[in-house]
Amino acid sequence: MEFVIVTGLSGAGKTRAMHAMEDIGFFCVDNLPPALIPVFYDLCLKSEGPRNRAAVVTDTRGGELFKSFFTALETLKRDKKPYKILFLDSADGVLVNRFQETRRKHPLADEMGGALEQAVKLEREMLKPVKECSDYVIDTSGVSPAQLKSRITELFLSSAQDSLSVHCISFGFKFGIPMEADLVFDVRCLPNPFYDENLRPLTGLDAPVRDYVMEKEETQGFVSRFTDLVDYLLPLYSKEGKSQLVIAVGCTGGHHRSVALAQYMCDHLTEKGVKASVTHRDMQKF
């Protein structure tokens, strides 16, 4: 059975993630205390017409009950029941804005005397060890609901669940580095099509910009080393049991150079038979 534990920061999009997983065939339960996760796992295995895909959402809404999270994981490991952990993250400022917009109360607000920003920081510190042991991390700071659903689908709709998947992200440094990135490449050193007035309104997905970037001698030297490094690292990450590798490629605004090179890397990996996907996070921002 494919079993996914969804957790992460309050306001980061766990409910949307759960809905996306339901859409691709997962049987989902929200706000389940960790101590009941092994029980729910057994119920799914023993139910009439066995469920082959199940997911639970568990987080700090459980209060003291959430402290049994790692005990529940140890129980699953002891009983040789495989699982994956999906962690939803987002920048502190984004989380604060989301709570202010929805006027919902943060689960840890009372512990911090109602101070929202302090509650967010406390929860981040509490969940740090959970994030570190997660198989998948998605930063939803600049991600639309449609993009999040697409990422969930890419991660869990494939049948090759045991293989390493690679997700490439193009971004603009002025909008911040993606928090879920394992590898970050700065391509601001490469020739910039922004200074060509004919290319400025286009993106790295448009042929004129792509050709401008990729045909430069500096880019060709970078690409050769870029692909060699990633090709070398993938088997090493797979050997260590890593499920997902996130490669972030950044330029100044996230419109031109980073888009062309992140797309190139995704296409390169796909041609080699690697399960790869790409998101151009800041391409539409102006």
Q: List the chain pLDDT tens, one digit each, 286 residues.
A: 899 999 999 999 999 999 999 988 899 999 999 999 999 999 999 876 557 899 999 999 988 899 999 999 999 999 999 999 999 999 999 999 999 988 888 989 888 888 899 999 999 999 999 999 999 999 999 888 888 988 898 888 764 444 688 999 999 999 999 999 999 999 999 999 999 999 999 999 999 999 999 999 999 999 999 999 999 999 898 877 787 899 999 999 999 999 999 999 999 999 998 989 999 999 988 6
- For 40-78, give the secondary structure using H, E and C: HHHHHHHCCCCCCEEEEECCHHHHHHHHHHHHHHHHHHH
Q: Are 2 and 27 in contact (CB under 8 A)?
A: no
**Whole-Å CA distances, 248 to 68, 73, 239, 265, 270:** 34, 30, 22, 10, 17
Binding residues for ATP: 8-15
What is the set of domains in the chain, with CATH numbers?
2-156 (3.40.50.300), 165-280 (no CATH)
pLDDT of residue 160: 42
Distance CA 103, CA 118 (A): 16
- Residue ranges of alpha helices (H) inside the chain are 14-23, 37-46, 69-78, 92-102, 116-132, 145-156, 207-214, 217-239, 257-271
Binding residues: 8-15, 59-62
pLDDT of residue 70: 96
Distance CA 157, CA 164 (A): 14
Identify the DSSP state of 204.
T
Binding residues for GTP: 59-62
Give me 128's structure tokens. 């740090």
Estimate to the nearest angstrom the gap between the alpha carbon of 228 and the chain centroid: 24
Estimate to the nearest angstrom the gap between the alpha carbon of 243 and the chain centroid: 12
- pTM equals 0.67
Nearest to 55 by CA among 19, 10, 90, 12: 19
Residue 159, amino acid: S
Residue carrying structure tokens 């690679």: 166
